[in-house]
Each structure stands twice: as structure tokens, then as C-alpha cells.
Amino acid sequence: MGKRALAALAVLLAAALLAGCKRSSLARNFGQNVGQWSPRVNQDAPESTPRVSAIESFETPAFGEALGFGVTAWPDSDELSLGNCYAIDGWIGQLEYHSPDEWLLVLRVAREDEMPLVTLYNDSYYREPEEREADGVTVRQTSSAEGAAIAVWKKDGFQYSLHSNKLQGRMPDEMVDAFVREIETEES
């Protein structure tokens, strides 16, 4: 069985497991990792965006031909270690991070002129976002009553969203600032 067939099977199994918890806060948390991601057709995407969901695994976030860009610098320390990397739907890069206190963080990146990565601010699920500056970049950060957290920013022609999968409340500013400061993305 090929890599794509195995990946598709894993995604379908994860989707089946999630089907039983559609009403849970985890299922509503946009920061789900790829193991919990279910394929869908995105009808609202711009014409240039592929309509069929696809996912491709990478050892590093150098997404090359899959996305036309790559992440060239990223946080990597004892507190934040890079795990899995994926290209999703031909326009989103995803980097999964783990921390010693068992946080799972999902960083998504796309070109700034693509469909927004996050449109959940109008959803009653999230509190009103706070806006602040980090390393000269405007960051919008919020969390839900259930503890899901999210931060978004734009930098050098790319948009980023950072989500916590652990329902532990607002992400510490220092953690978000490390991503804003250290993440670098370039066209391939």
C-alpha cells in the first residue's frame, strides 16, 4: 500500500473517531492536529486554490513544489520542539509542536493573499480578541471559555495562525512572541 493510501486511511479512521465527539469542545477547536483532521471540499476558496482536500507529510517545513513556499526558520528549543510537518490542500503549511508541559501547538502558514486561515473571531465560541504588538508585528490573540487558544498575525507576505490543542486557556505571550520573532517563510 502506498504512502498516499496509508495517509488517506489514517485520515478516514481519525474522522470516524471524531464523528462520535462532534459536540465536544475538542472537535470545535480549530487547532486540531492532522491526526484529527478530516478531508472536505472547500467551496469558499479562491479559484486559484485547489478544491479537493489533500495532505502530504514532510520531514521539515521546506514544502517546495507542494506549496510553492517553505518555512526557513522556526522556533526549536527545549520548550518548543518541532514535530510533524504537513502541506494541506495545496496552500496551507502546518507545523506541529510539542512542549514539556504537554501542550500541542499547531502553527499554520499560508500566503497573505489566500483565504484567511482563521475566521473564528465572529463565532460566539471565542472571546473578543486582544490586539498587541510583538516584534513590530500586530498579533490578535484570543481563547474560548473551554480553554482553546489562538493567535494570528501577518508577516512578510504570509499569514500565520497558532492554536493550542490542549484546552489550557490563553497561550503565554512569551510563547507566541517566540513564534512571531523566529518564524521565517520564503517563496520556493
Q: Which of the pair, 63 or 129, is modelled with greater confidence?
A: 63
Which residues have a Cβ under 8 Å from the Cβ of 45 and sit 6 or more positions away? 51, 89, 91, 115
Q: Write out the residue range of the structural domain in which residue 90 sits.
A: 3-187
| pLDDT exceeds 90 at position 33 | no
Question: Residue 24: its pLDDT value, please?
Answer: 28
| pLDDT exceeds 90 at position 112 | yes
**Cα angle at 184 between 41 and 174, to 5 degrees?**
100
Weakest-pLDDT range from 30-44, 54-68, 100-114: 30-44
In angstroms, what CA-CA distances link 14 with 11, 50, 97, 130? Answer: 5, 23, 19, 33
Give mean pLDDT, residues 46-63. Answer: 77
Percent of the chain clearing pLDDT 70 (strictly above): 66
Q: Which of the pair, 29 or 133, is modelled with greater confidence?
A: 133
Weakest-pLDDT range from 11-20, 49-58, 165-174: 11-20
Q: Which of the pair, 148 or 103, is modelled with greater confidence?
A: 148
Distance between CA atoms of residues 48 and 137, nearest Å = 28
Give mean pLDDT, residues 2-11. Answer: 44
Percent of the chain clearing pLDDT 90 (strictly above): 41
Domain count, the chain: 1
Which regions of 102-147 does DSSP assign to beta strands (E)? 104-111, 130-134, 137-143
Q: Which amino acid, residue 152?
A: V
Question: Residue 26: its pLDDT value, please?
Answer: 28
Question: Residue 35: its pLDDT value, please?
Answer: 52
| pLDDT exceeds 60 at position 119 | yes
pTM for the whole structure: 0.71
